[in-house]
Amino acid sequence: MKILIVDDEQDVEIMFLQKFRKEIKSKRLEVSFAFSGEQALAMLGNSGSPDVVYVFSDINMPGMSGLELLSAIKSRFPHILVSMISAYGDRDNYNRAISSGAKGFFTKPVDFDSLKIEIAELLTNQ
């Protein structure tokens, strides 16, 4: 299963690769990274019908916000599941994300145990 992590903080890549190393090593999970909403859409759009099944995106990014990215993904690739993350667990961001079609909403620092449960459910249903 291929997932895409979108966050403007590039050190997130190292953290995700460490937390999911077993799943990556066993080839149950393939993880790609984009460091902006625009880059994420370009990566998804270049393949025509992307094999990414799950996107995990930060909300607050320069340029295209995560909520704008969520809207674009849902309109172009409705089969892709998207969860959002924010350093601010405010009700407004949560409501906007869920009402825009987000599967889940996480706050920073990432609760990797909860995220692993969500991804494990996706792997089981595949």
0.95 cut: is pTM over it?
no
Domains and CATH numbers, the chain: 2-124 (3.40.50.2300)
Instruction: Report DSSP state, residue 110.
Output: P
Is residue 3 within 8 A of residue 30, CB to CB? The reply is yes
| Phi and psi at residue 26, to the nearest 5° | -80, 0
Tens of pLDDT along the chain (126 residues)? 999 999 999 899 999 999 999 999 999 999 999 999 999 999 998 766 678 999 999 999 999 999 999 999 999 999 999 999 998 778 899 999 999 999 999 998 888 999 989 888 887 776
Q: CB-based contacts of 44: which residues, under 8 Å, 6+ apart? A: 4, 50, 52, 73, 76, 77, 80
